[in-house]
């Protein structure tokens, strides 16, 4: 598509309106504290309750806090899913530990190469 740049602003608008699955907030809402509705909300607050700057700052802080909590919850869910079936291992100083070189063998340790090469 040769004229993709003509649609970039529409794509950006759509992206900023899309609600994140973890936070349930759109990017626009997270940044500005209200949803954008076109065209009536251009240059004005859509719900009219943010007339005072202090109220707006307080509201944005609440949104940031809720977003941070939602992201933390999503991270905890991802960690729980990732750690299913994993066993906790605690090692003490001087414990003998068996390591497998096949898991994380750096390329420069490959004996089949004649020199160490670039690292």
| pLDDT average per 10 residues of sequence, the chain (119 residues) | 75 81 84 72 48 76 86 90 85 86 62 57
Question: CA-to-CA distance for 25 and 69, rounded, in angstroms?
Answer: 12
Q: Which two tokens stand for residue 14?
A: 């759509």
On whether residue 108 sits in a domain, the answer given is: no
- What total number of domains does the chain contain? 1
Q: Nearest Cα to 28, choosing from 69, 58, 60?
A: 60
| Any domain includes 112 | no
119 in a structural domain: no
Does 78 map to a domain? yes
Which pLDDT belongs to residue 40? Answer: 45
Q: Tell whether pTM > 0.85.
A: no
Place of tokens 């065209």: 39
Q: Are 35 and 28 in contact (CB under 8 A)?
A: yes
Q: 57 lies in which domain range?
A: 4-90
Residue 9 lies in a domain: yes
Who's near 101: CB < 8 A, 6+ residues apart?
A: 109
Kindly state whether residue 99 falls inside one of the protein's structural domains. Answer: no
């Amino acid at each position: 598509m040769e004229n993709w740049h003509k649609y970039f602003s529409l794509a950006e608008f759509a992206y900023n309106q899309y609600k994140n699955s973890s936070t349930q907030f759109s990017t626009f809402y997270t940044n500005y504290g209200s949803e954008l509705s076109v065209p009536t909300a251009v240059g004005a607050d859509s719900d009219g309750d943010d007339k005072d700057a202090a109220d707006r700052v307080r509201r944005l802080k609440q949104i940031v806090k809720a977003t941070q909590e939602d992201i933390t919850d999503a991270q905890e869910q991802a960690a729980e899913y990732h750690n299913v079936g994993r066993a906790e291992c605690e090692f003490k100083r001087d414990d003998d530990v068996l390591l497998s070189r096949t898991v994380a063998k750096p390329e420069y340790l490959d004996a089949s190469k004649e020199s160490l090469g670039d690292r």
